[in-house]
Amino acid sequence: DVKVTQSSRYLVKRTGEKVFLECVQDMDHENMFWYRQDPGLGLRLIYFSYDVKMKEKGDIPEGYSVSREKKERFSLILESASTNQTSMYLCASSLYAYTEAFFGQGTRLTVV
């Protein structure tokens, strides 16, 4: 079974803090993704990566950056957290382009 693990289930941070969300997959998948999910807006892609050190902007990259130094690990960074970044963050991975994605359990981030 594919395992995608996110470092935290729940996180509370203060406005202006730098926040790191970590994601690890154990199936040697090429592609990794960060989504955020908000009521009524569904899943929106923030960034994705198709190889180590490679990244592409998704639909809502503003205020976020990512890092992929190793194939199994994809980090999402909120440079200066703001209250409008309060959301559920979901990491996913897929073996190749066009194949299904598998999700981590999600991190519910609250910025106060």
Indicate the residue among 50 and 77 with the shorter CB distance to another protein: 50
Distance of closest approach, residue 104 Cβ to another protein, in angstroms: 6
Q: Are 104 and 8 in contact (CB under 8 A)?
A: no
Question: Contacts from 55-62 at CB under 8 Å and sequence distance 24+?
Answer: 58/33, 58/34, 60/36
Q: Are 1 and 29 in contact (CB under 8 A)?
A: no
Binding residues for another protein (CB under 8 A): 30-31, 33, 35, 40-43, 45, 48, 50, 56, 58, 90, 92, 94, 96-106
Distance of closest approach, residue 47 Cβ to another protein, in angstroms: 10
